[in-house]
Structure 1
């Protein structure tokens, strides 16, 4: 007992003279040396000899010194008293963002040996393959040595310094690698999951979020030094700039995501200028960083990040209070991230202790934020789906209401027309009654011609749309089958990936078996072909509908500028079924200017002339090939000329003179009303134009339409 008491007294006595020393005993594995440091922060660069004899060192009062941004190198002095049984110790500086670290160790003859490491050399030159800075300390047992450290950095200088035994240091490095690996795994899962969803739904919010996740992950991993270790170990110059560039890019993407996801333009328009300002600051940080002024770029990036955090927090809170459902997930996620940032900063300023939790607070908060935002994006899709269903239901209700109103108005209108007609019949004499009857007969004939054109239009459209629609519908069933196979495969692969009982090799083998069983490569090719077929069918249908939209302006009574070439093309779509792939169509279009016209009525003229031309060609050639239609356009300063020629039966002189007379037709009974060319003639006259005919029996006919570019009243 006396012996133990004397040893304890001796230990207390020795320790009383060890203030400012790092004491390593037999039970010590790892110690944080912050309060045992002496620091010197000169206003300019000084040499080691001047530092060695300097009396300006001041003792550190914190466990982890924070020097902020420093224009000159910082010097540290510390002593190590080795009372353990191990001569080999390891100095660990757990801040990889330092640009250069130099260790001065006492030598044999009182000289100091110099060892340096930093980002100005390739990573592979380091003795310890660790993102942090590690140095060997040779302190014999029961001796004390004094060491000097020279620290230089373009960013904020934060110095958690440890002295430990090699085994303890290896365990700590393994622990840090495991925590960072978990974070990287979470980032990759969120990245690929949301990227897959983006390709599925094509929502830009997912694209912005994927970009944000990617660069946030690079920033956080870069702060731990893993980017320099694994991604670009031979590019030390780029690594010193990468954190600023990645942080600014992630901030820019976060602002884009905020604007799109929260629909700021609709829910909180006043916040948009602040968002644009923050984006501009992030872009501005690129300029000095790429130019080599890293401290200035870092300051701008820090300022932009602080301002953007406040803007996003206030914006999401305001929109959430207004009742916008997706803002709840966003506000929760952003609050978690801000809480992690605050904990991280409080640790830097010694308000919170420096430990694993506070050191990894940002990564933990970032992982939670990513998960919450992913949930928010999924919930947003459901909300948009409900809004779409409600909008469709409301549109259907409005349509039904309009239909009811129109039906009632038609009844009232019909009653008034009948009453007025009765009054006219009673007040007019027999001559007026006869005249009215003649007008009604003429109107019925015109309507009959319109109905004939409508029948032709309906048949043409039905025939043209049927083919691409059949192509689309025939591809839907195999595409659904292939999609179900892919979903089943993804589910199986997910089960294998989440299994904890099998090795990675077994998982890979199981996944390859599933892909081989599904013939995965052929399945991708087949899906691509099916989607291509559906796209072609839909594109063709869209073209047909576009042509129908251009053509179907028959009842427009207002003059407007229109492209006659587009009108000809839309009319050809309508009569395409009459061509039967036997009649060759030759087009010679000039770049004619738009003309003032009645587009719908002009399209009716084209339809009548083309229908007659096709009838003449079919009458001559029947089922045999050889039929041709030639359509050409030209213009001068005042007029546009449209020529439609065929190589059909042609007309003799007597027929050519009567062709524009009402009710004259060369078709068989039931095939035409005889009003088509009469209507065409009147329409061209209404346009202040001319219609000319050249025809040779047995060789064909050519119609020339002359239309003024400017309609003259």
Structure 2
């Protein structure tokens, strides 16, 4: 009975194991690839591990290195292993670091399973074995069999190079991988540093694009091998899943920029620019998809764009090469080798080529050859540019020598012409100097003429003003002389009567009183006081006129001095008083102004010219009738740095069409003989020399307002 039970148990277990393509481990096994022994669960999704174990929906895989594509859900695998050797501690290795998560379910002695998780979501330091691949310890007693289960999850393509090794085989393979990758990384950095040095030496932008391409391509390859996660961001697991996609896109972008620059497509194939822009946009979209967490979609997009762009770049480089651009040969050969390496790598992934050291490192090997060829191509391109530059320089030197000969010949002719022209210019200059001297003399004469005209007007006004008070004095002299004579006669008579001895005091007083009544002494006193007051007023008025004349005609014309503008206006009005007829109302509104730095005499001349014109305009309009108004106003302007003088009249006004001409020399609206036309020109230049300005407001028939704005202090 016991024998039947044993036989029945054997057949049951044998029946279960018949579906397994077992992995047989013996003492001769150092490293074994077990892809064809894997079985994939093909049942419904979302089931538990217990249901997975009990399921019969497993299908054997027919490839040594299965390529399961991209899967949004977990992939379950079953691996039966039988150990017929003496080594009981083995290593299960999945040599594809791009997988996001790998979980191994290991049976215990009691038949229960426990799981071990590895993946890019864990920091690298937590791994037991510090290598990029996923490595699990499995304990398999001698002459025993166990079934292991694997759960795989990844956003990228799922490729499963699964190996079982003993310690010797594992260490040997790790050393080979590290050696190959170390050589590759060294070559990448040497090429990058060397070409970066060349970029700083020759400042050719193509070298910079090449350096970026080499670095990004190298980091991408190291990311595929898992070394980027191990050495660059071991404590940043969230970036481990994004890194290969990000640097793959950056590698594609830099390759496009390098190809566009190296092949000089702007000149050799301008139509290619549109396609390159499309590829750049698609790579950029892939980058944004990664940033926003769509890694799987970004990976598919990057793969598609990389494939299409690689073929297009190869096509366009071939077109450029057959069109005669010699450096393109290096690009075509290098790009072709890189694509062939990629094809070999893909054929290995799909099981069409054997998985070995050559096929697994085909892309790295092709990448190194491509980098070398592209570097040679850059150097060749620079040499061509150097040769073209030397030819161009030789041609330019020949042209320069020919130009130098022509210049020497022309210099002789030019020197002769220059001498002739210099003689003509000298003669012309002498003539111009003579003319300029005459013009200056004429200008001086005209200015003097204007001054003389003003002086004549000034003299007439002053004579008229002084004549009135002097008349008071001269007309009072005769009556005052007569009155004084009578007073002296009265004094003599009073003295005679006072000294007479034959008269009594009463008779003396009576006679003196009678004599005073005869002379009318009270009237005489009143008349003398009146005559003296009139002479005093005339003398005082004359003194005021002389003072005003002295203020007006200041002689300090060549030096700037601080002067009282209000005082200058008052003196000018005193001088012009004779021109202001009866019926003209004069209104003065003088503010309390500080003294300003100026040529006072020249400013008084300006006031005289403007006020004279204002009086003329009033007389022209009202013609000796009442109604004329002349207003003079002063005040502080703006920020206490300027003062203003406003002279307003209600005369005939200035027409708009001639308003801009009033400051031109010799322009006048007065009748012939009434003005020289220089007064306002002199006024304008004087105000300009004081760093001020003149504003004019006028309306025909209403009057004119001249506003003079002057700085309080001259900043010379």
Which bracket does the TM-score occupy, shorter chain normalised? Answer: 0.5 to 0.7
Q: Could you say which residue in structure 2 is the equivalent of 1:613?
A: none
- Cα distance in 2 for partners of 1:83, 1:318 equals 61
Q: SS of 2:242's equivalent?
A: helix
Q: Could you say which residue in structure 2 is the equivalent of 1:232?
A: 233
Matched, 1:324 2:322: no
Q: Could you say which residue in structure 1 is the equivalent of 2:504?
A: none
Matched, 1:289 2:290: yes
- Cα distance in 1 for partners of 2:295, 2:422 equals 88
Contact 1:205–1:261 under 8 Å retained in 2: yes
1:539-558 equivalence runs, <5 A: none
1:443 to 415, 419, 425: 425
Matched, 1:276 2:277: yes
1:17-55 Cα offsets, whole Å, 9 max, x none, are 696100011211111101111112556333211211111
Contact 1:275–1:311 under 8 Å retained in 2: no
Q: Could you say which residue in structure 1 is the equivalent of 2:628?
A: none
- Cα distance in 1 for partners of 2:45, 2:135 equals 26
Contact 1:99–1:152 under 8 Å retained in 2: yes
Contact 1:251–1:282 under 8 Å retained in 2: yes
- Cα distance in 2 for partners of 1:263, 1:44 equals 53
Q: Could you say which residue in structure 1 is the equivalent of 2:349?
A: 348
- Cα distance in 1 for partners of 2:223, 2:144 equals 38
Q: Aligned pair in 2 of structure 1 residues 409, 198: CA closer, same or farther (>3 Å)?
A: closer
Q: Could you say which residue in structure 2 is the equivalent of 1:27?
A: 28
Contact 1:81–1:144 under 8 Å retained in 2: yes
- Cα distance in 2 for partners of 1:354, 1:438 equals 93
Q: Could you say which residue in structure 2 is the equivalent of 1:607?
A: none
1:512-661 equivalence runs, <5 A: none
Shift of residue 376 of structure 1? 1.4
1:218-263 Cα offsets, whole Å, 9 max, x none, are 1001111111112211111011001010010111011111111111
Contact 1:42–1:74 under 8 Å retained in 2: no
Q: SS of 2:241's equivalent?
A: helix
Q: Could you say which residue in structure 2 is the equivalent of 1:241?
A: 242
1:91-116 Cα offsets, whole Å, 9 max, x none, are 01000000111111112222111111
Q: Aligned pair in 2 of structure 1 residues 65, 447: CA closer, same or farther (>3 Å)?
A: farther
TM-score by length of structure 1 reads: 0.56
Q: Could you say which residue in structure 2 is the equivalent of 1:181?
A: 182
Q: Could you say which residue in structure 1 is the equivalent of 2:525?
A: none
Q: Aligned pair in 2 of structure 1 residues 194, 441: CA closer, same or farther (>3 Å)?
A: closer
Structure 1: stretches of 5+ with no match in the other structure = 1-12, 418-436, 450-691, 695-701, 705-713
Q: Could you say which residue in structure 2 is the equivalent of 1:158?
A: 159
Q: SS of 1:312's equivalent?
A: helix
Contact 1:30–1:162 under 8 Å retained in 2: yes
Contact 1:41–1:72 under 8 Å retained in 2: no
Shift of residue 333 of structure 1? 1.3
Q: Could you say which residue in structure 2 is the equivalent of 1:72?
A: 73
1:349-364 equivalence runs, <5 A: 349-364=350-365
Q: Aligned pair in 2 of structure 1 residues 413, 113: CA closer, same or farther (>3 Å)?
A: closer
Shift of residue 442 of structure 1? 2.9
- Cα distance in 2 for partners of 1:335, 1:312 equals 10
1:500-536 Cα offsets, whole Å, 9 max, x none, are xxxxxxxxxxxxxxxxxxxxxxxxxxxxxxxxxxxxx
Matched, 1:382 2:364: no
Q: Aligned pair in 2 of structure 1 residues 36, 446: CA closer, same or farther (>3 Å)?
A: farther
1:342-398 Cα offsets, whole Å, 9 max, x none, are 111111111111110000001111111111111111222211111112222233444
Q: Could you say which residue in structure 2 is the equivalent of 1:104?
A: 105
Q: Could you say which residue in structure 1 is the equivalent of 2:168?
A: 167
Instruction: Please identify, of 129-138 and 105-114, the stretch whose mean Cα deviation from structure 2 is larger.
Output: 105-114
- Cα distance in 2 for partners of 1:373, 1:123 equals 35
Shift of residue 146 of structure 1? 0.7
Contact 1:89–1:139 under 8 Å retained in 2: yes
Q: Aligned pair in 2 of structure 1 residues 189, 447: CA closer, same or farther (>3 Å)?
A: farther
Shift of residue 401 of structure 1? 5.6
Q: Aligned pair in 2 of structure 1 residues 182, 447: CA closer, same or farther (>3 Å)?
A: farther
1:261-311 Cα offsets, whole Å, 9 max, x none, are 111000111111111111111111011111111001101111121122012
Q: SS of 1:234's equivalent?
A: coil
Contact 2:43–2:57 under 8 Å retained in 1: no
Q: Aligned pair in 2 of structure 1 residues 196, 438: CA closer, same or farther (>3 Å)?
A: closer
Matched, 1:59 2:63: no
Q: SS of 2:111's equivalent?
A: coil
- Cα distance in 2 for partners of 1:395, 1:448 equals 46
Q: Could you say which residue in structure 1 is the equivalent of 2:499?
A: none
1:446-465 equivalence runs, <5 A: none
Contact 1:42–1:72 under 8 Å retained in 2: no
Q: Could you say which residue in structure 2 is the equivalent of 1:504?
A: none
Contact 1:41–1:73 under 8 Å retained in 2: no
Structure 2: stretches of 5+ with no match in the other structure = 1-13, 432-683, 692-716
- Cα distance in 2 for partners of 1:438, 1:406 equals 19
Shift of residue 61 of structure 1? 0.9
Q: Aligned pair in 2 of structure 1 residues 336, 448: CA closer, same or farther (>3 Å)?
A: farther
- Cα distance in 1 for partners of 2:400, 2:92 equals 78
Q: Could you say which residue in structure 1 is the equivalent of 2:307?
A: 306
Contact 2:42–2:59 under 8 Å retained in 1: no
Matched, 1:113 2:114: yes
Q: SS of 2:353's equivalent?
A: coil
- Cα distance in 1 for partners of 2:167, 2:358 equals 23
1:30-89 Cα offsets, whole Å, 9 max, x none, are 111011111125563332112111111101111111011101111110111100011111
